[in-house]
Amino acid sequence: MGGMRLTRNILALLLASLLILLLFLPVALVSGIGRQQGFIYSSARLVIGAALGVLGVRAVVRGLDAVDLSRPPVIVSNHLSNLDGPLLVHVLPLDPRVLIKAEARRIPLVGWVMKLAGFVFVDRSSAARRQEALEEAVDRITRTRCPFLVFPEGTRRRNGAGRDFKKGSFVIARRAGAPVLPVRISGTDRLLPPGRRTCAAGTVEIEFLPLMDPASVAESDLAGFARNVQQKIDGGKTT
């Protein structure tokens, strides 16, 4: 079984790398010159879908049909694995910009494409730079009406232990006048847990919960709002 998993991972890496190389020039031309960011997302979904298919990873999506997406939401999710972000980009009928750690900008080709796609990079070493990233995200939402994806735990969970949600994503939502869309991901930590280099085949569940609006919450009370959202994502359990 380990040999099959390794083979799948090598094939997925080769296929994704080939597609990225083939799509790099069209993405650069269409997105860099034509400013058509939608092409980046459709290309990304092609690459992600092909890689997931080779890996044998399948997503079961629940609750999305009941969500009103007429207002661009700030999407907040628990964070179990490096699979979480690509899976959400793949299944969402939106083109979410992502609040992502600054180190991702150094990934060859991919970091450059993330910048073209409107991702906001966060330097977590400085409170002032974190604040600049929040303001950039607010500006991006209000100017372009784009949704945003944030993992409020800041990093992946280890050994099943969740971290308290940081309130930055909820500050973004409140200041931008956007609703919060909570998402519960289950199973990605079994397929690709932190520290493992290869991804196993299997099924993950992605459940979209009802929208929550922070508009009536004072900014000083957003930590409590964040705890409420986290409890809903965790199935009503405290962390």
List of the chain residues with pLDDT < 50 = 34, 237-239
CB 46 within 8 Å of CB 239: no
Q: Any bridge partners for residue 97, and if so which? A: 148
In sequence order, the 6+-apart residues with CB closer than 8 A to the CB of 207 are 61, 62, 63, 183, 184, 185, 186
pLDDT at 95: 93
Query: Tokens in use for 50?
Result: 């092909």
pLDDT at 35: 60
pLDDT at 221: 93
Helix (H) or strand (E) holding 150: strand 148-150
Instruction: Read off the pTM.
Output: 0.89
- Residue 66 lies in domain: 58-233
Task: Confirm whether 177 is domain-assigned.
Answer: yes
pLDDT at 159: 59
Cα 107 to Cα 3, 114, 182: the distances in Å are 28, 10, 28
DSSP category for residue 211: P
Q: Are strands 202-208 and 180-186 parallel, antiparallel or unpaired?
A: antiparallel
Task: Confirm whether 20 is domain-assigned.
Answer: no
Task: Confirm whether 52 is domain-assigned.
Answer: no
pLDDT at 33: 54
Task: Confirm whether 37 is domain-assigned.
Answer: no
Task: Confirm whether 17 is domain-assigned.
Answer: no
Task: Confirm whether 127 is domain-assigned.
Answer: yes
Query: Tokens in use for 173?
Result: 């939502």
Task: Confirm whether 6 is domain-assigned.
Answer: no
pLDDT at 161: 59
Query: Tokens in use for 143?
Result: 């100017």
Question: For helices 37-55 and 84-91, what crossing angle results, to 10°?
Answer: 120
Overall domain count for the chain: 1
The CATH number of whichever domain residue 209 belongs to comes to 3.40.1130.10
Task: Confirm whether 48 is domain-assigned.
Answer: no
pLDDT at 238: 40
pLDDT tens string 54-96: 999 999 999 999 999 999 999 999 999 999 999 999 999 999 9
Cite the DSSP H helix spans in the chain.
2-27, 37-55, 84-91, 110-116, 127-144, 168-176, 188-191, 222-233
